[in-house]
Amino acid sequence: MMEKRDGQAYIQGVLDRDRRMLAKTITLVESSLPSDQELSRQILDALMPHTGKALRLGITGLPGAGKSTFIESFGTMLTDRGCRVAVLAVDPSSPKTGGSILADKTRMEKLSVNNRAFIRPSPSGKTLGGVARKTRETMLVCEAAGFDAVMVETVGVGQSEVAVASMVDFFLVLMIAGGGDELQGLKKGVLELADAVAVNKADGDNVERAKLARRQYETAFHLLTPPYANWTPPVVTCSSVTMAGLENILNIILDHRDRLTATGELQAKRKEQAREWLKYLVREGVQEWFYESPAAQVLAEGLDGVERGLVTPTSAAAQVLKCLKGQKF
């Protein structure tokens, strides 16, 4: 009975836009304690009807591209227009690096004290999947709390871009002038995820170099297949310092949303993201259960036999599956 009463307090606090209860709810969502996870599921289920209205933006870029400065400037522009903005991060490497996102929060001095903004450091986690799950659920909580835009920043490297792209409506890749070296450093797969590319730091003596870089990235995009029939990712320049080009980026994001909403592609994209996420969670749960079951020991013995050439992989797999058939999930 106590749990239910507590759950209602969290739910009402989020819907009332109480920042303290919002932070407490996110802390509960991030908890790995089974009792907290059960309560957070109840809360999220109750909040679901109040989600889905926010603009979901993903932002990535090479080290030195100025992500934090861009997010602060872009977020401030949005709040100046009356929008409420939440900033989240996907950073699976934070336990090793000492939590770079915390430094980002410190660097976003204006946004961190803006009462229309909410910055949440990344939850620490050993796996990208675990961190992404917390970030997805935190995004839903922020939407229920009435935020108009949720910006999700990739801080780690590798697959974090894919994880973020799979939970947002619009994926922005920040680049800097320099040409080939930067293009080589950015995986082709990341460009394929992009809904737009912005060459940042286009100010002072760097304006012409930024324009040249923009043309080079436009050429690179011609080699890729556009993600949507009705959208070709634009390449633009901007400056987080002078604010030049930021309004243009906002207009691009809004145009993207309007076009995909009109064709039904945005709704289809969100449905597909939800389906894939459900399947991922089931696979993750089954895998976790498997390695805690007796079949895991049979697998270990099978691996040893395969490595020593005593049994074929087919026979070893059959033994594992035979053991599994006798298990209760």
Distance CA 151, CA 109 (A): 17
Give residue 125's pLDDT. 63
Lateral strand order in the sheet of 85-90: 117-119, 85-90, 149-154, 55-61, 170-176, 196-200, 235-237
Give all domains of the chain, ordered by start, each with its CATH number: 1-50 (1.20.5), 51-263 (3.40.50.300), 278-325 (no CATH)
The answer to whether 256 and 195 are in contact (CB under 8 A) is yes
Distance CA 211, CA 237 (A): 7
Give residue 193's pLDDT. 86
Regions in the chain scoring below 50 on pLDDT = 1-4, 94-102, 179
Judged on CB neighbours under 10 Å (0-12, 13-18, 19+), 285 is: exposed
Give residue 182's pLDDT. 52
Task: Using DSSP, state whether 116 is helix, strand or coil.
Answer: coil
Residue environment code for 80-107, b if the CB has 16+ CB neighbours within 10 A, otherwise e: eeebbbbbbbbbbbbeeeebbbeebbee
Element spanning 279, H or E: helix 265-290
Give residue 186's pLDDT. 58
Distance CA 41, CA 314 (A): 40
Task: Using DSSP, state whether 324 is helix, strand or coil.
Answer: helix
Distance CA 271, CA 328 (A): 31
Q: Which amino acid is at 135?
A: T
Tokens at 22, concatenated: 């919002």
Give residue 99's pLDDT. 44
Give residue 241's pLDDT. 92
Q: Which value, to the nearest 10 degrees, does the dihedral of the CA atoms of residues 212, 216, 218, 221 take?
A: -160
Helices (H), 109-234: 109-112, 128-144, 160-165, 180-185, 188-193, 207-221
